[in-house]
Amino acid sequence: IAQHVSVSFTIEPKKRDGGALSDEEIKAFIQRVTDKTIQDCQTGAMLMAIWQKGMTDKEIVTLTKEMMSSGEVMSWPKEWAGLVVDKHSTGGVGDKVSLVLAPALAACGYKVPMISGRGLAHTGGTLDKLESIPGFNIQQSTDQIKNILDSVGCCIVGQTETLVPADRVLYGMRDVTSTVNSLPLIAGSIISKKGAESLSALVLDVKFGRAALYKDLDSARELAQLLVKVGNSLGMRTGAALSSMDGTIGRCVGNSLEVIECLETLKGKGPDDLMELVTTLGGLLLKMTGSVSDLSEGKKKISDAVIGGAALSKFQAMMEKQGVDSEAARALCSTDTDYYSILRKSKHQIKLETPADGEVVDVDGMMLAEVLHKLGAGRSKSGESVNHSVGAKLLVSLGQKVQKGASWLELHYEDPAPTADQISRLQSALTLGTHTQQNTPTHTVVKELLLPQ
């Protein structure tokens, strides 16, 4: 084995010098990454070469295919053909779309094996949100996933050990080699994991703005176009929505608070921006799989599933199948529940007040997320625990007129209390304008759609 490991691996210099790698070379690289028969420094050199020189579309497709095939590729019953779908978001603040969309799709007859991630830095993770529900188990085997899909239609789980092992190695290495923002590596990571789910269709929510990975529409579009191209080349019908991420999605940020907001949404009382994302992304999947002829019909079907309560029933069934006590699941989904009889509430809550009269022009989602992260709502490195009860709830909407001293944010925190500096940073997230400013048009989140050719 020692001899095998020390064999010189000659494709990094080729990529470093700008050459295109053959299918065989990419396959050999991924194989050695998976088998751990390559030294970390060689893997790091390859990632840096890809980051510097980029890859052709053909190379990216091969890289993604080989990563996908590095572990188990799921297989589904024949009668599910055309019905297995999923969505992926590039991450934002208060991004709770999956918790509403997965059960809505299940209520429309689809199978949604949603393999999600944890939060890192300022972005919250879907798994962390669900784990704020006592008993919710995100670790499920492939057989358990099939069983839940068979009876409920959706599950939200963590990545299994056997799925795309090459990505786990490369993902960790990208962090330490500062190659996280390489487009070929991002595409390989996202699409290989979704490809291993053997999906009929995939919708991507690619976010741009102050609180997103990409700050402007053009760079987000470049990533979305690549993801759509690679996804379709793997045989998954893949489409994307480009959505703005400057503030927050909905009014709540923080794990327990976001779960409550999702349950309220599933009871028909959701905020407009969250419903826009859920119905647009869901509608795109319905259109791509051919169950509706146009997007507006798809959006209406998803909206009806949410407002009519069918999606709420699916969410309750999913909670029970994933380990939540049936009494607790029923209570969370009942109409006039006290959520905090089941979910953890923070020790302290304070309300921040507006410093002047004016109109709410902007709320900086990134600023909110960074402070909440420091207060324990997020993690700085993989494996750290999070405090599910820490978060914030916006009490105002964009365009709303407020008077000085009105409460605009409810902060939920534990000990130690936020510092004066943190409170002042939270206050600086709010921008007030004068009443004379032009009324802002209705705020829509989704700016562009990319459909498969």
Active site residues: 88, 167, 174, 189, 193
Query: 129, 136 in Cβ contact below 8 A?
Result: no
Query: 214, 207 in Cβ contact below 8 A?
Result: yes
Q: In 3D, which of 227, 256, 244, 247 has the Cα closest to residue 280?
A: 244
**C-alpha to C-alpha distance for 204 and 399, rounded to whole angstroms:** 29
**C-alpha to C-alpha distance for 251 and 272, rounded to whole angstroms:** 10
Instruction: Tell me which residue has tokens 């990454």.
Output: 33
291: which residues sit within 8 A by CB, 6+ positions away? 108, 109, 298
CA-atom Rg of the chain in angstroms: 22
Query: 121, 131 in Cβ contact below 8 A?
Result: no
Instruction: Tell me which residue has tokens 């004016």.
Output: 358
Angle at CA of residue 445, ends 441 and 448, nearest 5°: 105
**C-alpha to C-alpha distance for 332 and 363, rounded to whole angstroms:** 30
The dihedral built from the CA positions of residue 75, 78, 79 and 81, taken in this order, carries a sign that is positive
193: which residues sit within 8 A by CB, 6+ positions away? 68, 115, 159, 163, 164, 167
**C-alpha to C-alpha distance for 55 and 63, rounded to whole angstroms:** 10
Query: 71, 193 in Cβ contact below 8 A?
Result: no
Provide the angle, in degrees to the nearest 10, between the axes of the packed helices 40-53 and 165-176. Answer: 80
